[in-house]
Amino acid sequence: MVTQASGSPKLEHKGYNRGLILGLTMAESMLLLVFCLLLVAAAMITAERKQRMDAEQRLAQLEQQNKELSAQLVEVQSKLGSNMSATDRAKFESEWRELVSARQIIDRLKMNDASPADLAKLAAVAKVLAANNIQLDKAPDQLEQLLHGDIKPHEWPPIISLSEAGGYYFTSGSAALTREFEDKLETSIADQIADNLERYQVDVVEVIGHTDEQRVARSTSNLDDASIGVIDGQLPVDALQPADNAGLGLARAIAVANILKENPKLKDVTVLPMSAAQLVIPGDTLTSGQAGDVKERRRIEIRIRRRAESLQP
């Protein structure tokens, strides 16, 4: 009988513990939850009340400014006298309203801690967005998509490299193309350029002549006198006589550009001949003096881009 009596309190103690949450009874837990909710509600009410007070203060300031401006308007009208015609008076009042509106906008910006420097930055951002065809109201969504990888990064047009190592030859030391090279420019290469122009919506083709660092065996150059005549088609390409690698690269670029300009697939495109001489080795790396007969360096690079807009400094 004693053993049975001693086991009874243990059962009662376990039943008492079933109503506890983290050491609190169910009623105490509910009271704590209600107290937390009241704290949150009080914080929200306080924040909303502060916003309302700030808005009322700003409204009072604007009303005071309107009163001051109205008084100034009456004063200015009285000073002008009654000799003002109805048309002039209407024009004056319209300009005055615009001035008042502008001042109110400035005051609102100042209230929100917006400075002229902030406005300049905003204008620069808007210009960048417009240049990339992004509407200002859609910019946040597109930026969010970009951050999450939903928008692909900008894809640059490919560079077409035509080197002697690939079978694209000029006559040694001159701008004369081989017949095979000329045929490829008129067919497969022109097709590739036209496809890229359409794909990337660009309208400028840059033809860049590159050479190796072997010296040109000629003492004088006539490129200053003959280049424009060759570009205009008044002189043949073999009339160009470069005396250095800079001139040789330009002469070869002119020869290629003239063939591309005559292709009907590229009729609405601007073709610009340029020279990089011996300065840039394949891979867009500046040379450090790697002389020698290197076919890979003797090449024409064709790059396409959109026409640059004129920018005022």
What's the pLDDT tens digit per position in 268-303? 899 999 999 999 999 889 999 888 889 999 999 999
Beta bridge partners of 205: 271, 304
What confidence tens digit (pLDDT) does each residue in 73-107 have?
676 666 665 566 777 777 777 777 777 777 766 66
Report pLDDT for 82: 57
What are the chain's domains?
27-135 (no CATH), 160-305 (3.30.1330.60)
- Residue 62's Cα: distance from chain center in Å? 39
DSSP state string for 202-260: --EEEEEEE--SPPPS-S---HHHHHHHHHTTSS-GGG---SSHHHHHHHHHHHHHHHH
Q: Which of 101-105, 108-112, 252-256 has the lowest mean pLDDT?
A: 108-112
Report pLDDT for 228: 94
What letter does residue 24 receive in the DSSP assignment?
A: E
Using alpha carbons, select from 257, 249, 283 the residue that is nearest to residue 189: 257
Dist CA 302 CA 181 (whole Å):
14
User: Could you give the C-alpha distances from 37 to 17, 30, 44, in angstroms and in order?
Assistant: 26, 11, 11
Strands 204-210, 160-163: pairing kind = unpaired
Using alpha carbons, select from 260, 259, 160 the residue that is nearest to residue 210: 160
